[in-house]
C-alpha cells in the first residue's frame, strides 16, 4: 500500500511483515513486547478513547514521556484521529512548560511517571486549555492512560465509522505534530510539521542501509526530538524491531542483551564511548597497552573505499582479532551501523569506528526539515568522513553567497506556529528554507557543515572565527570534556574549558598531585600548566587568528540539568556567557562599568 500519512505505516507494516516483535519496552526490568497487530489495535483503541472524550480533529494533546511502546500507541492513535501531537521534553523548566502549554493550547496532557505528574499537575491552573492529565505509569490519584484504552474499547462500535471517515479525510499536507525546538537561545519555537514532511523523510532515508524485518534497533534518544521520532517511523516502515532502552544508564546492558544491528546517537555520546575505551586502554599493563595503542594508531589511518594498502589491511585484520572485536562486543557484538546526527562528529571518531568494523553514518538536518537533509549512504557507498553525505531524494540544497545552506522540498515545515513573521524570515518567497548553518558541497555532492551562521563571530581585527570547528579540535584532547570559544569584537579568541575530570584525576594521581575538590584542582599551577601545553599543541593546527590566546578552567560540569547544554547536548552559549560573565570580563581585562563588546550573546 502507498504510505502518504504517518498512520499508514501501521497498515503497511502489518501487510508487509506482521512481526511478532514490532515494539518492546521494559516493565519492572523485564522486556515486554508487542506485535504489529497489537500495535495497530492499541493505537486504534486509543483513537476511539480520544473521540469518546469529545476530542475533534485539529485538537491537540501534549505528551511528556520517556521512550516506550505506549508513546507510539498514543502517537499513532492521535495521528489517525486527526489530533495534533505536541511532544515535549521531560527536562524543561516550569517557565518553558507554561509557555508551550499556553502557546500550543493542548486539551489533554499525558506524562510518563509520578515525578512528571507532580511537576506538571500544578501548572495546569496556568494553562486554561488543559482539561485533564493522564499518566503511563501507575500513579496514585492520577488517571491512567489505560482508562483511555478501555474507554475506546467500550465505544468501538460507536466510533468505528467516525474514525474511518476522519482517516479518509486526512490529507498529506495536514499538520500532524507541533514540535517545540529546545533551541540554544530564547523561548522555544513551535515547528508545525505535516504528514508529508515526515513521510517524505522516511522515504528519503529508507535506502541508506540494508536492514529490514530480520533486524533490531535500540532507541534511547528522546522520541520528542524529531531526529529519533522520524527514525522511529523509518524503522517501523522497514519492519525493524524497536527496543526502547529504560534510560541512558541501561544502554550498555541493553546493547548486550538485545544485540541490535543499528542505533542512532549524537556525537557527544560517541565521544564518551570512545574516551572510556581509550581510558581502559591506558590502564592496561605493559605489552597489552602497547598492542592496544598500536591498534588505535593503525585505526586512525583507516581510509574508506578500500584505499589502504594490502599490508595495512593485513595489519588491520590482526588488530581486529586482538582489539577491535572487543569494542564491538562491548556494543552488543552485533552492531553494524550507527547513525550520528544533531551536531558535528569529529572525523577521527568516525574513522576509528569504521576501522573497528562499526560503520558510522553521519547525517544532518533540523526540526524545520523533518529533519534529514543529507546523510552518508551505506547502500550506495556514497560516504565521505568529515561530511554529512549526499542530499536525500526529493530534497534540494543550494549554498547562498554568504555560505548559508538553503533547503527546499517536501521535508520543509509548514511554518512556525502562530508566527507568520518568523516563518517568512525563515522561508523565502521561492520556498527556500534558510537553515542558519554554513557549509559547502564537496565534489558537488557531499555536504560539509562548517558552523552555525549565528555563532560565527568577528574579532576586532575583522577576522572571522567559526567556534564549532575549533571546539571540535580541542575536544579531541583526553583532558577536555567541553569547551566554548569566545572573542566577539575582541582582539583575540579565548575559551572556557571544562576538564575531563575522570582523566584529570588519574593524571594527578600519577603525578602525585593532591587536591580536595575540583574547584581547588583547577587552580593548581601544575594543572593549569598541563592545560596550557595542551592548548599550545592544538593551536599549532589553527590559523593565527583562530588560536586560543587565553583560557580559564571551570570546575562545574556542564549538563542539561544545569542549563549549559540543550536536550541534544549542544552548548547553550547564551546561558554559558551569562553564567561566566565575570570570568569572561576578567579574561579580556574589562574595567568596572565598561560595556561588554560582544553583541550576539549578551
Mean pLDDT of the chain: 94
At 358-384, the pLDDT tens digits run: 999 999 999 999 999 999 999 999 999
What is the structure's pLDDT at 458? 87
For residue 265, the cross-strand partners are 340
3-state secondary structure of 58: coil
Mean pLDDT of 219-224: 94
Go through the domains of the chain in sequence order and give each one's CATH number. Answer: 8-240 (3.40.50.12780), 457-587 (3.30.300.30)
Nearest to 268 by CA among 486, 481, 560: 481
Cell (9 digits) for 1: 500500500
Where are any strands of DSSP class E within 118-238?
A: 132-135, 143-144, 175-180, 190-194, 216-219
Place of cell 489517525: 80
- Tally of helices (H runs) and strands (E runs) in the chain: 22, 25
pLDDT of residue 592: 82
User: What's the DSSP call for residue 306?
Assistant: T
Point out which residues pair with 153 in neighbouring strands.
none
pLDDT at 184: 47
User: What was the pLDDT predicted at 11?
Assistant: 95
268: pLDDT strictly greater than 90: no
Tens digit of each residue's pLDDT (9 = 90 or more) over 163-208: 999 999 999 999 999 999 865 456 789 999 999 999 999 999 999 9
Please give the DSSP secondary-structure letter assigned to residue 555: S
Q: What are the tens digits of pLDDT across the range 379-406?
A: 999 999 999 999 999 999 999 999 999 9
pLDDT band at 602 (very low <50, low <70, confident <90, very high): very low
Encode burial over 261-275: b for 16+ CB neighbours within 10 A, e otherwise: bbbbbbbbbbbebbb
Q: What is the pTM of this model?
A: 0.86
**126 CA to centre of own chain:** 30
pLDDT tens per residue, range 40-87 = 999 999 999 999 999 999 999 999 999 999 999 999 999 999 999 999
564: DSSP letter: S
Amino acid at each position: 500500500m502507498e504510505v502518504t500519512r504517518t498512520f499508514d505505516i501501521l497498515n503497511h507494516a502489518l501487510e508487509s511483515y506482521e512481526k511478532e516483535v514490532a515494539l518492546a519496552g521494559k516493565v519492572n526490568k523485564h522486556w515486554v513486547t508487542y506485535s504489529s497487530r497489537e500495535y495497530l489495535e492499541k493505537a486504534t483503541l486509543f483513537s476511539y478513547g480520544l473521540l469518546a472524550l469529545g476530542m475533534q480533529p485539529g485538537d491537540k494533546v501534549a505528551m511528556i514521556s520517556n521512550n516506550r511502546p505506549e508513546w507510539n500507541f498514543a502517537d499513532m492513535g492521535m495521528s489517525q484521529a486527526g489530533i495534533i501531537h505536541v511532544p515535549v521534553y521531560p527536562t524543561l523548566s516550569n517557565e518553558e512548560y507554561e509557555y508551550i502549554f499556553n502557546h500550543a493550547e493542548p486539551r489533554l496532557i499525558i506524562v510518563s511517571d509520578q515525578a512528571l505528574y507532580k511537576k506538571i499537575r500544578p501548572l495546569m491552573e496556568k494553562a486554561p486549555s488543559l482539561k485533564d492529565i493522564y499518566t503511563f505509569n501507575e500513579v496514585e490519584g492520577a488517571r491512567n492512560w489505560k482508562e483511555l484504552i478501555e474507554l475506546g474499547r467500550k465505544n468501538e462500535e460507536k466510533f468505528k465509522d467516525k474514525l474511518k471517515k476522519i482517516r479518509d479525510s486526512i490529507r498529506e499536507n495536514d499538520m500532524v505534530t507541533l514540535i517545540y525546538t529546545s533551541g540554544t537561545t530564547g523561548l522555544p519555537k513551535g515547528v508545525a510539521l505535516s504528514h508529508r514532511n515526515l513521510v517524505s523523510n522516511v522515504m528519503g532515508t529508507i535506502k541508506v542501509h540494508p536492514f529490514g524485518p530480520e533486524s533490531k534497533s535500540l532507541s534511547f534518544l528522546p522520541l520528542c526530538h524529531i531526529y529519533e521520532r522520524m527514525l522511529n517511523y523509518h524503522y517501523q516502515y522497514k519492519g525493524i524491531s524497536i527496543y526502547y532502552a529504560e534510560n541512558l544508564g541501561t544502554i550498555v546492558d541493553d546493547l548486550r542483551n538485545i544485540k541490535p544491528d543499528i542505533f542512532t546517537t549524537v556525537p557527544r555520546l560517541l565521544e564518551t564511548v570512545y574516551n572510556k575505551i581509550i581510558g581502559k586502554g591506558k590502564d592496561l599493563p605493559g605489552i597489552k597497552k602497547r598492542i592496544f595503542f598500536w591498534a588505535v594508531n593503525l585505526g586512525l589511518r583507516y581510509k574508506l573505499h578500500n584505499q589502504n594498502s594490502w599490508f595495512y589491511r593485513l595489519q588491520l585484520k590482526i588488530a581486529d582479532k586482538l582489539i577491535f572485536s572487543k569494542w564491538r562486543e562491548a556494543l552488543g557484538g552485533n552492531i553494524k551501523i550507527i547513525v550520528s546526527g544533531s551536531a558535528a562528529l569529529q572525523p577521527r571518531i568516525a574513522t576509528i569506528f569504521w576501522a573497528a568494523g562499526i560503520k558510522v553514518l553521519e547525517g544532518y538536518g533540523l526540526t524545520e526539515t523533518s529533519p534529514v537533509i543529507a546523510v552518508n549512504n551505506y547502500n550506495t557507498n556514497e560516504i565521505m568522513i568529515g561530511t554529512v553525505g549526499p542530499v536525500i531524494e526529493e530534497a534540494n540544497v543550494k549554498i547562498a553567497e554568504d555560505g548559508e545552506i538553503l533547503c527546499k522540498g517536501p521535508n520543509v515545515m509548514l511554518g512556525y506556529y502562530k508566527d507568520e513573521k518568523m516563518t517568512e524570515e525563515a522561508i523565502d518567497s521561492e520556498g527556500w528554507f534558510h537553515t542558519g548553518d554554513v557549509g559547502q558541497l564537496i565534489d558537488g555532492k557531499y555536504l560539509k557543515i562548517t558552523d552555525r551562521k549565528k555563532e560565527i563571530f568577528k574579532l576586532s581585527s575583522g577576522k572571522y572565527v567559526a567556534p564549532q570547528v575549533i571546539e571540535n579540535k580541542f575536544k579531541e584532547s583526553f583532558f577536555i570534556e567541553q569547551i566554548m570559544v569566545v572573542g566577539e569584537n575582541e582582539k583575540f579568541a579565548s575559551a572556557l574549558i571544562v576538564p575531563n575530570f575522570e582523566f584529570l584525576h588519574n593524571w594527578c594521581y600519577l603525578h602525585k598531585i593532591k587536591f580536595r575538590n575540583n574547584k581547588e584542582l583547577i587552580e593548581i599551577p601544575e594543572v593549569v600548566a598541563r592545560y596550557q601545553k595542551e592548548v599550545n599543541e592544538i593551536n599549532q593546527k589553527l590559523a593565527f587568528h583562530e588560536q586560543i590566546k587565553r583560557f580559564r578552567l571551570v570546575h562545574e560540569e556542564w549538563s542539561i540539568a544545569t542549563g549549559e547544554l540543550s536536550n541534544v547536548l549542544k552548548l547553550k552559549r547564551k546561558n554559558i556567557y551569562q553564567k561566566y560573565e565575570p570570568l569572561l570580563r576578567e579574561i579580556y581585562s574589562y574595567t568596572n562599568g565598561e560595556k561588554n563588546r560582544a553583541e550576539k550573546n549578551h
